[in-house]
Structure formats: C-alpha cells, structure tokens
C-alpha cells in the first residue's frame, strides 16, 4: 500500500499478532495502529523526527499499553506519523509528510497523534493508540470526525512511551464507533463489564460555547435537545465555567499577567492554559533539552520556536502549579459529583487549512488551549464524541465507561 493509498498515516508497517488465541477475547479480529511514540520491541521509536530516530537504537521491549491490547486479541499493523516530539496540535510534519484528513483533505488532521486519528478516520484500522498531553488525542479526533478518549491521568501505564511532559501525559485511543471505543477502554482500564451509569446532571457552560467560530446556539441547542431526548430536560444545568474557576481556583492569580482581553476569551481558562503550558515547557526541557542542545535537530516551523521557548523556561511559578491542580480538582469534584458530566467544545472551530501561517492561528490556539486545559490540568478524563461538544467526566473510581 502506497503512502497515497494509506492517507500518509503510517510510518512503518508490520504485523504483531495477539499473544494468545484471540477467540473469546474482547478485541478479537480487530486491527490497530500505534503512534510512533510507543516502544515496539525491535523497532526504533522515532518520536516524529528523523534526527531522533538516527540517534536512538531500537526498543528492546514493547510498551505495556500496546501489550494490553495485543493480549486483548487485537492485531497491530504498524506505527503512525506524529508531530515532531509531540509538540503541536496541528498534525503537520515537514519530514514525513502530513497525513491526509479523510474528512477535509485541504485541512490539517490535528496532532500530535495525527496518523493514528487518520488511520481510524480512513477505515484503515478499527482503532488506534495515541497520546494526549495538551490535546493530542482530543484535537485530531475532532478534526477527523471520530471518537477519541483521554483517560484520567495516571490510570493507563505510560511506561515505554517517550515522555513529553509527565504531569499531563496520557495514553489515549481512537475509534469510529462507541462500541469499539468502549471495548478498547475496558481492556486498557481493566474494567469489568457493567451496565452504563446514568448521568446525574450534565452541565452546559455557555461561556465556553461562545468561544466557537460558529454561533453557539447552533451547537449548544442541539446538544441540549439530544440530552433532553435521552435523559429528560431535568438533568441539564447551565453554568459559567470561567466565573466558577475564577472563584474556586485562587492560585491562578499568578498566571493572569499578560492575558489579552480585546478578543473574546475566558480569562480564568486562559490563565489555566498558561499554567499548564508553563509546566509542560519546563518538563519538556528537563526531558529533552540536553538532546536538543547536543544534536541540534532540524525541526519544522512552529515546533522549532516552541522547543526553543521550552529550553529557555525558568522555574518561576512552577511551585504554584500543584495548588492550581488541587484547587481545580476540588472545584470540579464539587461541580460534578460522582456522576456528573461537563459538556464543552473540544476546539473553537473547524480544522485550519493546511500550511496556515503559525501567527494567524494564535487566537485559535489561545481559545483551543483554554478549552483543552480543563481536563489537562485537572487530570479528569475527556471523551471526544461525534458532536462538536465533548464530555468530561469526574472519575475518582475510573468509571470512564459512562462517557461512551
């Protein structure tokens, strides 16, 4: 199969069979692909960059998350293209080509798990594995019109996965339909088969929907009607998430400096995003700064600037982040209870056109990370559904299944 016929999604193709007889196993007869950030025994984990691949040897073991779905009965068919060093949500790669968005070929597929999302969206595999630090499963799932799941932070092993920023790194997965999304999730989360739990309430934060580039009533009203049809209108609650976070997360005061207010945004969520990206840069520098300085890799536009910014990050305000996280977790726990759902847009609009100048995307990026930071900082799970909005569930007991 050529690069054209596989939508440019794959880095390397090979077959890894289930480790035991697949009959009666939950993922029997399903195929999957993995982002080339996961170790696969005998293969170089390329991290989206040829200089990285050139300076690293082949893995000597396979990541536990990959082994888990193999043991579940699925067959791996290869590794997928990703944004360099996982440092973009666009999905463009100047070295290996940009996987073609099957929904909109003239637009970016989303990243950094671009190839994994495209492989699923183009029906090349049944499901795929990716990672989500700042949005790298949720964004490409949204752009490619498929389901994507970011689990609660720390519940799926990231051993054998190249770290981007450990405080936020999660192993996520993609599927075209909720049944397969559920089955893969039960394997990775080691959950028993149980009846779905009815949500106690679903919160619609109207301020978040105003970040959208299309009229918010075209999305929030459709969402509310769907909820009313499924569960009845009594469980729908409306809120201003920005005001709530402002009141309940006082430690964010350290991150309001320099926030622009002339274009519509939600200051407390922009501050939340600023806190998240500061720690992300700091941890990225600690993980990869020495390699970048030594090897001086060739990096694409946007990513090169981001990496250099990360290398210059100091530890100012880093020690405030644990307070921000604990305050936000407590606030969302109070808001959602055990069975509540917060329904928010994944991204503020359709995917940008291919090769759009980085500077013209700045407003879009600010709004996108304002939305993405809610799950990123809290560590709560988030499912990207087939509507414009997605659900974020509070899950101390890991009951992610109710998002399916």
- Residue 144 CB neighbours (<10 A): 31
The Cβ of residue 239 has, within 10 Å, a number of other Cβ atoms equal to 15
Q: What residues pair up with 172 in beta bridges, in sequence order?
A: 130
Q: DSSP class of residue 199?
A: P
- The CA distances from residue 121 to 6, 38, 112, in Å, are 11, 20, 15
Cβ burial, residue 124 (10 Å; 0-12/13-18/19+): buried
Q: Which of 263, 275, 201, 190 is nearest to 238 (CA)?
A: 201
Q: Is 393 helix (H, G, I), strand (E, B) or coil?
A: strand
Q: Could you give the residue ranges of the DSSP H alpha helices within 127-248?
A: 138-144, 178-189, 206-209, 217-231, 241-248
In angstroms, the CA 56 to CA 44 distance is 7
| Residue 107 near residue 350 (C-beta atoms within 8 A) | yes
Is 126 buried (19+), middle (13-18) or exposed (0-12) by CB count in 10 A?
buried
Which residues are known catalytic residues? 35, 112, 136
């Amino acid at each position: 199969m050529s690069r054209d016929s596989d939508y440019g999604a794959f880095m390397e193709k090979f077959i890894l069979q289930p480790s035991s007889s697949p009959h009666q196993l939950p993922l029997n007869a399903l195929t999957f692909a993995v982002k080339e950030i996961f170790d696969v025994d005998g293969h170089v984990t390329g991290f989206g960059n040829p200089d990285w691949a050139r300076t690293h040897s082949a893995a000597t073991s396979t990541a536990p998350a990959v082994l888990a779905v193999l043991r579940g009965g699925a067959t791996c068919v290869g590794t997928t293209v990703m944004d360099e060093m996982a440092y973009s949500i666009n999905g463009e790669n100047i070295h290996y080509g940009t996987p073609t968005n099957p929904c909109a070929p003239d637009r970016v597929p989303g990243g950094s798990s671009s190839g994994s999302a495209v492989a699923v969206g183009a029906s090349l595999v049944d499901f795929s594995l990716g990672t989500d630090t700042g949005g790298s499963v949720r964004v490409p799932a949204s752009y490619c019109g498929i389901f994507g799941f970011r689990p609660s932070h720390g519940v799926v092993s990231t051993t054998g996965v190249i770290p981007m920023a450990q405080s936020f790194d999660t192993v996520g997965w993609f599927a075209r339909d909720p049944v397969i999304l559920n089955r893969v999730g039960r394997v990775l989360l080691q959950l028993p088969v149980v009846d779905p739990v009815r949500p106690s309430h679903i919160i619609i934060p109207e301020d978040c929907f105003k970040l959208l580039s299309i009229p918010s009533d075209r999305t929030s009203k459709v969402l509310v009607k769907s909820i009313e049809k499924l569960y009845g209108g009594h469980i729908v609650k409306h809120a201003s998430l920005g005001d709530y976070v402002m009141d309940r997360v006082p430690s964010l005061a350290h991150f309001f400096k320099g926030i622009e207010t002339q274009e519509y945004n939600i200051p407390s969520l922009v501050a939340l995003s600023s806190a998240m990206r500061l720690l992300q840069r700091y941890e990225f520098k600690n993980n990869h700064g020495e390699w970048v300085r030594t090897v001086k890799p060739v990096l694409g536009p946007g990513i090169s600037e981001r990496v250099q910014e990360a290398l210059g990050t100091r530890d100012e305000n880093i020690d405030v982040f644990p307070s921000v996280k604990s305050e936000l977790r407590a606030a969302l726990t109070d808001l959602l209870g055990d069975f509540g759902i917060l329904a928010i847009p994944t991204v503020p609009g359709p995917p940008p056109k291919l090769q759009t100048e980085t500077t013209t995307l700045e407003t879009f990026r600010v709004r996108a990370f304002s939305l993405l930071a809610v799950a990123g900082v809290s560590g709560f799970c988030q499912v990207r559904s087939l509507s414009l909005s997605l659900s974020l569930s509070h899950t101390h007991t890991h009951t992610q299944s109710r998002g399916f």
